[in-house]
């Protein structure tokens, strides 16, 4: 440990394990978790918990505001509870959501949640290339998976050289589109498949006529209402949006719409409009491309329509979220967005968005693990939820709106109960029939008038 820096060494292998930089000064204490995988540090400004990967990741921060913290200690049990003293008072933080046991050493290449949170589709790298897996979020049961796709060229994005499969759910969550690449006689070929989730079978599968690598392979994918329309931005070279009709058993190309849509696409739930991160939208199936600055000139990084098709949310590279009416004609306000910044001072980009089933709440995920809930009508921040501290790639609410699901590379499935009634039940289970005392209420719920909630 040195000024503004902590080095962690692996003594068994006699090597530097990780180097934590950009810290404050005046360290008072450090404490490893029992398994040695995480570290808590405290100085004169803040308490920080790190995951000891390479590089290390901040997963929790607590400004001290003049408090003197000492005697850091982790509970020896299976949970992740950190305790420390401020004066003679013991403070306890349950950091299980920040340091989940489900952390995977090998990250998923991509992960997409179904719109109702019931299924999770992931792309996993393997020695043979890459494969996609569809599993239930409730039981973890694998519903479908592909064999490893063979390497398809030198300019690919997977470790083996094969371009990674693209995944996209239909707005109702009943169909999954997969665009994957195979290799034949040294040439990459692109296959488009629509999978029926309830029936657990392929609806349609075909090879794209624009499948050769020299034609430009698809780099963005979207699936329309009921899985009846498949849209693929098929070439970075000539910026072509292909519109497909899966039909009965095969995919048939029905139209081509020129224009640049960026790498993020979203279809309105009624299936009649497509919006892209390139500040454009188009009426489906073959309407003209319309330019629209969705985020006041900032780079759009995430898009989502509300379930009733009346709102569009556009997150950008500065951490803000712009709201539009469902026809993308009138702005409906701006959420000030993610207030935190990375240590270098750059803003945290929005990487995932999802509306609740009643469209009243918007979940916003960031590139460095921020996960927030916003009230759409008042545009007020409702809550910051704990995460493992890495990029949020996908978000979804459960069908009853009582749970938020999030996905990140090393923890593909995270679950956050947000139902107020369930929160009250948990509080009463912990505190007994008396519920929170007035002092605890003032400390934890200062903006709400005190009332008895248990008994």
Predicted local distance difference test score (pLDDT) of residue 352:
96
Bridge partners (DSSP) listed for residue 397: 404
Give pLDDT, residue 188: 65
User: What Cα–Cα distance (Å) separates residue 192 from each residue in 183, 207, 217, 228, 275?
Assistant: 14, 6, 11, 13, 21
Q: Is the peptide bond before 285 cis (omega within 30 degrees of 0)?
A: yes
160 phi, psi to nearest 5 deg: -85, -10
* Domains of the chain with CATH codes: 5-94 (2.20.25), 106-270 (2.130.10.10), 293-411 (2.130.10.10), 419-455 (no CATH)
3-state DSSP call for residue 437? coil
Question: Can you give the length of the chain in residues?
Answer: 455
Q: What pLDDT, on the 0 to 100 scale, is given for residue 378?
A: 94
Closest-CA residue to 243 (of 294, 192, 197, 280): 192
Pairing between β-strand 403-407 and β-strand 414-417 as defined by DSSP bridges = antiparallel
* Mean pLDDT of successive 10-residue stretches along the chain, which has 455 residues: 68 75 68 88 85 81 83 85 90 90 86 95 80 90 81 43 78 90 65 89 77 58 88 65 78 76 87 90 86 88 96 95 96 84 72 96 95 95 92 95 94 90 79 77 80 80
Query: Are residues 302 and 312 in contact, defined by beta-carbon separation less than 8 angstroms?
Result: no
pLDDT of residue 155: 37
Cα–Cα distance, 134 to 171 (Å, whole number): 17
Angle at 238 between CA 234 and CA 244, to 5 degrees: 30
Angle at 387 (CA atoms; ends 170, 77), nearest 5 degrees: 125
Quickly tell me which residue has 């394990």 as its tokens. Answer: 17
pTM of the model: 0.86
CB neighbourhood size of 445 (10 A): 13
Please report, for the chain, how many H helices and E strands are present, in that order. Answer: 2, 36
């Amino acid at each position: 440990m040195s000024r503004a820096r902590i080095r962690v060494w692996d003594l068994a292998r006699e090597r530097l394990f990780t180097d934590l930089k950009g810290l404050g000064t005046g360290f008072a204490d450090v404490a490893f978790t029992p398994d040695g995988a995480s570290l808590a540090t405290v100085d004169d400004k803040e308490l920080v918990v790190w995951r000891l990967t390479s590089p290390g990741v901040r997963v929790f921060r607590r400004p001290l505001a003049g408090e003197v913290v000492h005697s850091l200690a982790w509970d020896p049990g299976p949970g992740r509870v950190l305790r420390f003293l401020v004066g003679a008072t013991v403070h306890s933080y349950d950091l299980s959501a920040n340091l989940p046991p489900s952390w995977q050493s090998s990250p998923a290449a991509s992960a997409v949640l179904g719109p109702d949170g019931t299924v999770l589709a992931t792309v996993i790298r393997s020695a043979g290339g890459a494969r996609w897996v569809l599993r239930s979020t409730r039981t973890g049961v694998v519903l479908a998976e592909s064999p490893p796709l063979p390497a398809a060229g030198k300019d690919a994005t997977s470790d083996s050289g094969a371009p990674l499969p693209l995944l996209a759910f239909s707005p109702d969550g009943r169909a999954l589109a997969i665009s994957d690449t195979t290799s034949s006689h040294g040439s990459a070929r692109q296959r488009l498949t629509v999978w029926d989730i309830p029936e657990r079978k392929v609806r349609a599968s075909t090879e794209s006529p624009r499948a050769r690598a020299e034609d430009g392979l698809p780099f963005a994918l979207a699936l329309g209402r009921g899985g009846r329309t498949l849209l693929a931005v098929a070439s970075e070279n000539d910026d072509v949006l292909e519109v497909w009709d899966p039909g009965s058993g095969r995919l048939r190309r029905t139209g081509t719409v020129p224009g640049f849509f960026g790498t993020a696409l979203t279809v309105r739930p009624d299936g009649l409009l497509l919006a892209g991160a390139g500040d454009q939208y188009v009426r489906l199936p073959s309407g003209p491309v319309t330019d629209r600055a969705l985020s006041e000139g900032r780079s759009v990084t995430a898009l989502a329509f509300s379930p009733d098709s009346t709102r569009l949310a556009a997150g950008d590279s500065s951490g803000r979220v712009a709201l539009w009416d469902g026809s993308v004609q009138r702005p409906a306000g701006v959420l000030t967005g993610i207030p935190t910044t990375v240590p270098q001072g750059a803003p945290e980009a929005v990487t995932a968005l999802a509306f609740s089933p009643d469209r009243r709440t918007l979940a916003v995920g960031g590139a460095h693990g921020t996960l927030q809930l916003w009230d759409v009508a008042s545009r007020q921040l409702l809550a910051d939820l704990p995460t493992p501290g890495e990029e949020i790639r996908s978000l979804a609410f459960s069908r009853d709106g009582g749970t938020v699901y999030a996905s990140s590379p090393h923890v593909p499935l995270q679950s956050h109960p947000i139902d107020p009634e369930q929160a009250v039940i948990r509080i009463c289970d912990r505190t007994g029939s008396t519920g929170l005392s007035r002092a605890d209420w003032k400390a934890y719920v200062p903006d709400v008038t005190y009332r008895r909630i248990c008994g």
